[in-house]
């Protein structure tokens, strides 16, 4: 799964997903908790959680263990990260409400999909990026440092450092 090769979900993955669901129930019910308590909950589940990283509940993910957050990262309410492979978010990146980050992908061939096979492609989001509310980041995309993604955009291709993209599909815009 983590190598980006085809895999079939098995009992071990189901158990990992169930553990993530139990963790999400605790995290999402902890709205009144202190920043330190929320940070501790994130650190218990994620691969890496930088200093002062914040995710406002509710938050949803597949596993959690494939997510790395840099220092000062902020995710607003209702974000979704499907982390069947690695998702890396750089320092001081801000992500608006209801942003969806999808590493999970499916074969284009119907027979292979019918066989229950899946794969994932990692997502890397640089430092000092701003992603507007409701944006969708598709599997395999990299977003360079200092880039800006407009609200509601669907990012289907890599975004260059410092670029501004918007739309469906997201295309470069003048800043």
The residue from 17, 22, 39, 106 that is catalytic is 106
Q: Indicate the DSSP class of residue 56.
A: P
What six digits make up the tokens of 106? Answer: 């499916």
Q: Indicate the DSSP class of residue 159.
A: B
The strand pairing partners of 131, in sequence order, are 95, 149
Tell me whether residue 106 is one of the annotated catalytic residues: yes
What six digits make up the tokens of 175? Answer: 């800043």
What six digits make up the tokens of 69? Answer: 């957050």
Q: What is the dihedral of CA 167, 60, 128, 126, to 10 degrees?
A: -80
What six digits make up the tokens of 56? Answer: 């406002």
Which position has the token pair 């597949």? Answer: 62
Helices 11-28 and 35-45 sit at what angle, rounded to 10 degrees? 180
Task: Kindly list the catalytic residues.
Answer: 106
């Amino acid at each position: 799964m983590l190598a980006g090769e085809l895999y079939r979900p098995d009992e071990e993955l189901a158990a990992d997903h169930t553990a993530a669901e139990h963790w999400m129930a605790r995290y999402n019910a902890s709205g009144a908790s202190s920043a330190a308590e929320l940070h501790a909950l994130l650190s218990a589940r994620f691969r890496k959680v930088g200093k002062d990283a914040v995710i406002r509940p509710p938050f949803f993910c597949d596993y959690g263990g494939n997510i790395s957050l840099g220092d000062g990262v902020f995710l607003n309410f209702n974000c979704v990260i499907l982390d069947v492979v690695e998702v890396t978010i750089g320092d001081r990146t801000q992500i608006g409400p209801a942003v969806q980050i999808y590493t999970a992908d499916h074969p284009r061939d119907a027979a292979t999909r019918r066989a229950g096979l899946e794969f994932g492609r990692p997502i890397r989001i640089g430092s000092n990026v701003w992603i507007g509310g409701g944006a969708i980041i598709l599997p395999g995309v990299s977003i360079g440092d200092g880039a800006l993604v407009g609200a509601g955009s669907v990012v289907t291709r890599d975004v260059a450092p410092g670029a501004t993209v918007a739309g469906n599909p997201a295309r470069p815009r003048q800043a």
